[in-house]
Amino acid sequence: MGSFSGGGSTEWTPAAGSPAGGSQADDSPTGNAQVGGTIIDDLNEKTPAEEPNVETPAVSFLETTQLPTTEPEFSGLPEIGRRFSDYRTNWLSSPYALQLAKIISQVIEDRKDSPISNAVLLGVGGAYASIHALGEHRDREQFFVFSQICAALTITFPSLLQNIVVQDPQMTPGWRTVFEAYGCKVVEDPEAFSLIGPNTFLFSAWVEPQYLFPGLEGRPIDELPLYVGNDTRWYAKEDPAQKETTDALFSTVFCSTVAIPCVTVGSRYEGKFNPDHGLSGLSLWWRPFRTESQKQQDAALRSFASACNAGFPGNFVEFLRAYRLGFASLPGQEQQRFVYHYIAHLDRKGEFNRSPPRCPDFGEVFRRYVDAEAESTSEEHDLYQATIDAYLAGLKDGSCQKSFLSKHS
């Protein structure tokens, strides 16, 4: 594991198969996939490790035009401007600005073969910030960090500078003017979500998941090059339908991750810069560039993970046989239905009562399914539909709560 160190240490966890470490999923009989590590939340409790070979980068920010001060509706802006200036001074006097610059240098290195072409900032500048001092302080911190990240990215990916978008459903006039002064385009909810693509830097700090995830539906989250936000994987327990989104957004297989450099609980830094929860608890997640071949393997691993979540008891090697036979071309819902069929087929034969269970090869079962599909009226095809219907009916009425999945999950 590499690390970035400064005033305290910020360790980072490389993605599996990234240049910094980790291996790809293997094809061993066990079918185990290499999984990356976890989020590092505390900057100062870790022992500093050797730094990666990254040159010390300059710390820069988005440039701003002169903020208006004469219009009555912008009467609060001079104070906002002064606070931005004070914040900049304090941030630069802390160790965290340089730590963040080093992290972004690693992101750029990992993405040098694939550009980050636009940036989307969500949930900053709303009415809460204008009513509560803590909210305004939090939003100012988050925008300043967003500004530093964008400025660093534009050195390598200059087109990003013309494609920075900000959205908050309750955007205040004062904050709108601030964003526009810094060269950002303010859009109305939910337009920003439609701009999230496979080359987007997304910053979404403390946006409630019940508002964030519906907007992310249908977007290529599993290809997102850079995400900054708080960890919302817990939400999948409240809404299981969102597990696929959280797994993609916070992938410990395909992403490298590191905490945003800042003061955290128990920090020993005694300088002037002492942000509250506006930054503490936020992390960067980024995907090192993947070749087309690696992307295909990534897709297979994601499909395998989804099958395992549905209760698939086999290993990756036998799953890959079915995947290459055409399982990959099935729509997601049909993939899940076939996994249900396989589970129900094993349960009907009493295979889970054996120790160890004798599971017919998943690839072979899928081949028979393909043949049955071609014949369309075969006994095997009828059995396939019947086992799925029975399984789904059990899910609906709760009678299968202790069967099927629970036997091998």
Domain ranges of the chain: 3-289, 294-408
Residues 101, 85: Cα–Cα separation, whole Å: 19
Secondary structure class of 242 (helix, strand, coil): helix
Residues 301, 7: Cα–Cα separation, whole Å: 38
Amino acid at 61: F
Beta carbons of 178 and 67 less than 8 angstroms apart:
yes
Beta carbons of 21 and 1 less than 8 angstroms apart:
yes
**Residue 344's pLDDT band (cuts 50, 70, 90):** confident
Name the percent of the chain in helix, strand, coil, to the closest 5.
50, 10, 40
- Which among 93, 140, 71, 121 has a CA at the least distance from the CA of 278? 140
Q: What is the signed CA dihedral for 162, 79, 208, 102, rounded to 10 degrees?
A: 60
**Residue 14's pLDDT band (cuts 50, 70, 90):** low
Q: Which residues contact 137 (CB under 8 A, 6 or more apart)?
A: 275, 276, 278
Q: Write out pLDDT tens, residues 306-341.
A: 888 877 888 888 898 889 888 888 887 788 878 887
pTM: 0.66
Beta carbons of 400 and 390 less than 8 angstroms apart:
no
CB atoms within 10 A of CB 371: 12
Determine the average pLDDT of the residues in 118-128: 90
Q: Write out pLDDT tens, residues 172-228.
A: 888 888 898 889 999 999 999 999 999 999 999 889 999 999 999 999 998 999 999
Per the DSSP assignment, residues forming a β-bridge with 202 are 120, 227
Residues 197, 212: Cα–Cα separation, whole Å: 15
Beta carbons of 117 and 199 less than 8 angstroms apart:
yes
Q: Which residue has the tokens 């936000």?
A: 229
Phi-psi region of 8 (alpha: psi -120 to 50; beta: other; left: phi over 0): left
Q: Write out pLDDT tens, residues 148-171.
A: 999 999 999 999 999 999 999 999
Q: Which residue has the tokens 């086992």?
A: 387
